[in-house]
Amino acid sequence: MTASPATELNEAVVTLLASVPTGLLIDGQWRPSASGKTFEVEDPSTGEVLLSVADAGAADGAAALDAAVAAQEEWAATSPRFRAEILRRAFDMVIARADDFALLMTLEMGKPLAEARGEVTYGAEFLRWFSEEASRSFGRYSSNPEGTAQILVQKKPVGPCLLITPWNFPLAMATRKIAPAIAAGCTMVLKPANLTPLTSHLFAQVLIEAGLPAGVLNVVSTTDAGGVTGPLIQDNRLRKLSFTGSTPVGKRLLADASANVLRTSMELGGNAPFLVFEDADLDAAVDGAMAAKLRNMGEACTAANRFLVHESVADEFATKFAAKMAAMTLGRGTEPETKVGPLIDAKSRDKVHSLVSDALADGARAVTGGAPADGPGYFYQPTVLAGVEPGARILTEEIFGPVAPIVTFKNEDEAVALANDTEYGLVAYVFTKDHNRGLRMANRIETGMMGLNAGVISNAAAPFGGVKQSGLGREGSLEGIEEYQYTQYIGFPNPNNA
């Protein structure tokens, strides 16, 4: 008699959770917190506890930084090829365990398994990309203009780094920071989000198995983020801070980092405009809107937040978009038919509903959705709102849920003005058949990234980051490793003049 799919899944979950380290990784060893405290990690689709993990305090953070500092000199002296091969082995190991990583992300974060598998592919690619970049980060050698001296420029690792990752992409946000740090020769203290620390723990264990030396990566999961990271940022041995999260928290961290003039990388909030012009292929625009809105249930800084649609096609776009949104099946991410999983917690669901309720009260109408879903878990109906007025709260705050507010515009200038009417500038999406107009939008819209007739543009080979209050620095691509290096210049007399 064969086991049922549900029984097989339950057995896989039990086996997987048993393989996840639940301690703190400090100097190559998983250990309990100094206080002995733990915290629970829940499944947002059911509210059930998955695991309890060690809850780090200030003493644990200090021990993690001590380990990173102690390992830095020897790690920086390793060859680029040595570091590259660790990253390549880690890539192979993550891909080999893709089902495990996907299931673990679905359990602790809620996204459907198909999306989680996509994140494994995306997140693992940073390991492969930076394994190749490790040995391609060159300095230069040249003569000064006068011909009297030689200029030698080399790239060196900045030193111990504090990496703070969010809950929404548990694997990709870790690999996007850890991989370039390893490639550059930096040691690290990683503070994953307490809502989704399990994937980071499993990934850290994979790095150990791939040969990463003790102390190079240290992991301190905690419910007291400020109590752990605050003292680390004040410690003059720390050399870099990389943070992905909200703009208000990023601003506070930047202020704290200024005391020691830390190198900083900040990937902060977004309020992405999605522009649909009158000449757009509406079916392609709707498909792009689905991808840009519903990826990760809308819980992404790159999610389309404001749908700006030319008045001549707004009704048709809204009707087609709403039909596709209404057809999405809500459910636990492990169910094969699920297209939209739960939001991360009750607080997030309540905020999304507050934004929708405010918009409806101000005269918007729900073309589809508009309310939390019944039953257990933190589900919200995929929602399309039409008739949203410019200036509405839902257009100024990051929604972080499966809700699409539509605003109309009359001409290109008005579209640009609406798109730029935000303090954020992470990404924008533009749908038009006019190639020249698309390039004009890239020039006129204040954004670090733009999708032209595309709803998803993230790629390890592309520089990810924003302008204005969406952050500083870039992750991925050629620029990604430079965030973990400083430039050193050595000058000496021209040997030809000796």
Q: Which residues are catalytic?
A: 267, 301
188, 165 Cβ separation under 8 angstroms: no
Q: Please report which helix (H) or strand (E) contains residue 82, including its range.
A: helix 80-96
CB burial string 351-379: b at 16+ within 10 A, e below: bbbebbeebbeeebebbbbbebbeeebbb
CA 288, 294, 295: angle at the middle one, nearest 5?
Answer: 90
Pairing of strands 467-468, 424-425: antiparallel
Q: For residues 66 and 26, what is the distance between their CA atoms, to the nearest angstrom?
A: 9
Sign of the CA dihedral with 329 first, then 317, 122, and 198 last: negative
Long-range contacts of 388-391 (CB under 8 A, 24+ apart): 388/359, 388/364, 389/362, 389/363, 389/364, 390/418, 390/421
Q: Determine the 3-state secondary structure of 472 from DSSP.
A: strand
Burial class (CB in 10 A: 0-12, 13-18, 19+), 118: middle
Q: Determine the 3-state secondary structure of 8 from DSSP.
A: helix
Q: For residues 54 and 33, what is the distance between their CA atoms, to the nearest angstrom?
A: 6
Q: For residues 26 and 49, what is the distance between their CA atoms, to the nearest angstrom?
A: 25
- In sequence order, the β-bridge partners of residue 244 are 267
What DSSP string runs through 126-173?
HHHHHHHHTT----EEEE-TTSSEEEEEEEEE---EEEE--SSSTTHH
Tokens, residue 191: 């503070």
Q: Please report which helix (H) or strand (E) contains residue 417, including its range.
A: helix 412-419
Counting runs of H as helices and runs of E as strands, what totals does the chain give?
16, 22
How many residues can be counted in the chain? 498
Which residue, 43, 172, 134, 183, is CA-closest to 456?
172
Torsion, CA 466, CA 467, CA 470, CA 472, rounded to 10:
80
Instruction: Assign 3-state DSSP to the chain and report helix, strand, coil percentages, each to 5.
Output: 40, 20, 35
